[in-house]
């Protein structure tokens, strides 16, 4: 059981470039999430998918798009990267959308935008 996996682990982009962060989980979870973590701030929700086929905006969705490719995979796309998007990105999943379920996090992707 790999849990939640993310690729790549590190990425450096130039302003204006695009890229897709990949996330996959092998726990048969219904809900998946994308967060960003910046120094001195708590984790902030970018987008989430409560179930396959649905996606919703979180607290900080501007500049991002997501795709729930299937039950296992949830990708995050930056269409035109900006220095303000320099951050550590975490993908997470949990069995359902209930607040009682524990979220399981991936190892993170460290993104630098120059």
Q: Where do contacts with other proteins occur on this chain (CB under 8 A)?
A: 4, 31, 40-45, 48, 50, 58, 90, 92, 97, 99-100, 102-108
Q: How far is the CB of 11 from other proteins (least distance, A)?
A: 15
Task: Compare residues 56 and 79 and give the one whose CB is closer to other proteins.
Answer: 56
Segments of the chain assigned E as strands: 4-7, 10-13, 19-25, 31-37, 44-49, 56-57, 64-68, 74-78, 87-94, 104-105, 109-113
CA 12: distance to chain centroid? Answer: 17
Q: How far is the CB of 5 from other proteins (least distance, A)?
A: 11
Task: Compare residues 61 and 105 and give the one whose CB is closer to other proteins.
Answer: 105
103 vs 38: CA distance, rounded Å? 19
Q: How far is the CB of 30 from other proteins (least distance, A)?
A: 11
């Amino acid at each position: 059981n790999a849990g939640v996996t993310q690729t790549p682990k590190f990425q450096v982009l130039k302003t204006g470039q695009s890229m897709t962060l990949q996330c996959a989980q092998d726990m048969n979870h219904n809900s998946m999430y994308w967060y960003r973590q910046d120094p001195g701030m708590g984790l902030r929700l970018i987008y989430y998918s409560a179930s396959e086929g649905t996606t919703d905006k979180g607290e900080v969705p501007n500049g991002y798009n997501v795709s729930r490719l299937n039950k296992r995979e949830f990708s995050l796309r930056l269409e035109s990267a900006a220095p303000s998007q320099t951050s550590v990105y975490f993908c997470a999943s949990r069995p359902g959308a209930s607040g009682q379920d524990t979220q399981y996090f991936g190892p993170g992707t460290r993104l630098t935008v120059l």
